[in-house]
C-alpha cells in the first residue's frame, strides 16, 4: 500500500511569485484535503477535492486554488505569494465513502518559505 | 465558523506521570478525531469517536467523547518518552475537519 507522497519537500519563493505543490493520494482513496500548518499551530483547512471537484473550502482567499486529477492526485496552487504564506502545507487523503467522514492520512508535507 | 479549542497548550510531565488534554468545540460534532504529530513529522491518526458519551482505549491511552458531542479528552496513563509529541483533536462538522491548536507534550526521563 502506497502512502501519501508530497513534492517538493522544501521550497523557497519570493513574495509575489506563484507556487505549485503536488500530492499523490494513498491507493484506494478518492478524497484529498489540503491544510496549512504555521509553526506551533494546528493544521488549517484550505479545501477538499472529491471526484475532481472542490466540495469544501476553508477561510482562504481565491489565490489559493487546486486541482484533483482522475488518478486522485492533486495540486495546490498559490498565486501572489505573501510572507504569511510561509508554512508547512499538508496533503491528506481519505477512504472511499462520504467525503470528510473518514480519517485523514497525511503526507510529510511541503515546507514553503516566502522571502 | 466552527472553532475547536484545546488546552493546555503545553504540558511537561515526569516519565510515569499521567497526562490529559481537553478539547472543546463551538458546535455539535458528527465525530471527533485525534492525531499525534512527532517533532518534524506529520499528523498521524490515532482514533475516531462517533457516539455521544463514547469511551475508547488504546493501551495506555483513553479517549472520551462528551454527551453533547461538543467536547473530548485524551488521557495517557504512566507516560513514556515515546509519548512525546503534539496531540491534536479535530472536530468533524459537515465536510470540514477543524483542528485544535494542539497540546505539546514533553516527557522528562
Give the pLDDT score at B1: 76
From the CA of A109, how many Å to the nearest CA of chain B?
7
From the CA of B79, how many Å to the nearest CA of chain A?
22
DSSP letter string over A42-84?
Answer: --EEEEEEETTEEEEE-S--TTEEEEE-TTS-EEEEE-S--GG
Model pLDDT for residues A33-71, shown as the tens digit of each residue: 999 999 999 999 999 998 899 988 999 999 999 999 998
- Are A48 and B95 an interchain contact pair (Cβ–Cβ within 8 Å)? yes
Model pLDDT for residues A67-98, shown as the tens digit of each residue: 999 988 999 999 999 999 999 999 999 875 55
Residue B100 burial (CB count, 10 A): 28
Q: Is A21 on the interface with B (CB under 8 A)?
A: no
CA B87, CA B62: separation in Å to the nearest integer? 13
Residue A99 scores a pLDDT above 50: no
Chain B residues with beta carbon closer than 8 angstroms to that of A47: none
pLDDT grade, residue A24 (50/70/90)?
very high
Amino acid at each position: 500500500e502506497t502512502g501519501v507522497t508530497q513534492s517538493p519537500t522544501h521550497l523557497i519563493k519570493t513574495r509575489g511569485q506563484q507556487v505549485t505543490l503536488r500530492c499523490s493520494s494513498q491507493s484506494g482513496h478518492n478524497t484529498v484535503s489540503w491544510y496549512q500548518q504555521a509553526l506551533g499551530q494546528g493544521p488549517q483547512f484550505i479545501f477538499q477535492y472529491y471526484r475532481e471537484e472542490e466540495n469544501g473550502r476553508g477561510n482562504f482567499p481565491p489565490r489559493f486554488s487546486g486541482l484533483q486529477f482522475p488518478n486522485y492526485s492533486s495540486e495546490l496552487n498559490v498565486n501572489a505569494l505573501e510572507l504569511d504564506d510561509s508554512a508547512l502545507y499538508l496533503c491528506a487523503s481519505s477512504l472511499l465513502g462520504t467525503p470528510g467522514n473518514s480519517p485523514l492520512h497525511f503526507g510529510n508535507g511541503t515546507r514553503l518559505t516566502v522571502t | 465558523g466552527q472553532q475547536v479549542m484545546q488546552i493546555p497548550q503545553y504540558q511537561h510531565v515526569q516519565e510515569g506521570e499521567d497526562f490529559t488534554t481537553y478539547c472543546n468545540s463551538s458546535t455539535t460534532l458528527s465525530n471527533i478525531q485525534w492525531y499525534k504529530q512527532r517533532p518534524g513529522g506529520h499528523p498521524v491518526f490515532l482514533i475516531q469517536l462517533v457516539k455521544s458519551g463514547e469511551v475508547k482505549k488504546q493501551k495506555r491511552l483513553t479517549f472520551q467523547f462528551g454527551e453533547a458531542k461538543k467536547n473530548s479528552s485524551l488521557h495517557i496513563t504512566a507516560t513514556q518518552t515515546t509519548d512525546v509529541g503534539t496531540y491534536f483533536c479535530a472536530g468533524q462538522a459537515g465536510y470540514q475537519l477543524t483542528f485544535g491548536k494542539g497540546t505539546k507534550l514533553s516527557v522528562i526521563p
